[in-house]
Homo-oligomer: A and B are copies of this chain.
Amino acid sequence: MFTVEILCIGNELLSGITVNTNAHWISYQLTQAGGIVKRITVVGDDVSEISSAVKESIARRPEWLIVSGGLGPTHDDKTLLGVAIGIGVDLVLDKNAAEMLKKSYARRSKIYELNDIRLKMAKIPRDSTPIQNPVGTAPSVIICGTHDRANIVCLPGVPKEMEAIFLESILPEIKKTVGEFYVVESSFEVIGVSEAMLAPVLSKIIESNTLDRNYIKTHPLEYSSDNKPRLRVQIIAKGNDKHEVETRHNTVSCIIVQEIRMLKGKIISKR
């Protein structure tokens, strides 16, 4: 398993204009691949905010830092400059990134040619590697980690572009470093049992050392019409050995279902 931080950049994420679905999508993908997302940070389109967030993040020593948003050509696209300052390098016009931009614009109508404003997207942190954007124009960037610094990936903020690059070029790289990984997950809804009633048995399971790679969470839902508590219970087991993960998931599941029955709760949906 490996640790990750996600940094999302954009004023629209801070003012309630846009729901941060990118952070959700990226964290799901990484969790399924064996990642532990330790923190998600959102800052605005401001160079010093971005560079501070990058510095703080790499100081916490995650293995990967995934940055999303702010790679475009406009006045408020400041991610690469912020990242460069954050890791102490300068921005340089990268020939390969410029070629990628030319290709992207060639896909479009001829009226959208590569001009100076657009060439800004080819100025990337020194010693980083640009990655072709298969959907939009702005290339992504990978900055390989050092012995004491995370690998840093900068992705566009437009979801379709971000998802395409992540699945094509980033996830395969990450998977190379972790190998096979399995996640078995189930969840069910319970009526008549509250979080507090289930708390003692969950504490016991969490405390027992054999269950390091299990995740159990209760989400209280609205009370039922006859004023009974409703709860969604989620059980997730993770690991590198498929059979072992399945067995572990089933064991934990059985203990919790038994307890719910003892408490006279009713399991109304399971998946």
Contact = CB atoms under 8 A, between A and B. Distances in A.
Contacts of A19: 19-21, 24
Nearest to A194: B112
A17 B30 CA distance: 12
A17 B234 contact: yes
A222 B247 CA distance: 44
Contacts of A24: 16, 18-20
Given A16-B31, A203-B75, A109 B227 contact: yes
Contacts of A217: 11-12, 17, 76
A132 B234 CA distance: 28
A136 interface: yes
Interface stretch (A32-40, A122-130, A147-155, A250-258): A32-40
Contacts of A28: 15-17
A118 interface: yes
Given A27-B16, A227-B108, A40 B39 contact: no
Contacts of A73: 195-196, 199
A196 B117 contact: yes
A39 B115 CA distance: 34
A200 to B, nearest CB: 7
A266 to B, nearest CB: 14
Contacts of A165: none
A229 interface: yes
Interface stretch (A42-50, A80-88, A90-98, A171-179): A42-50
Given A112-B197, A160-B222, 12 more contacts: A12-B217, A17-B217, A17-B234, A19-B19, A38-B44, A72-B195, A74-B202, A76-B217, A108-B223, A108-B227, A112-B194, A136-B220
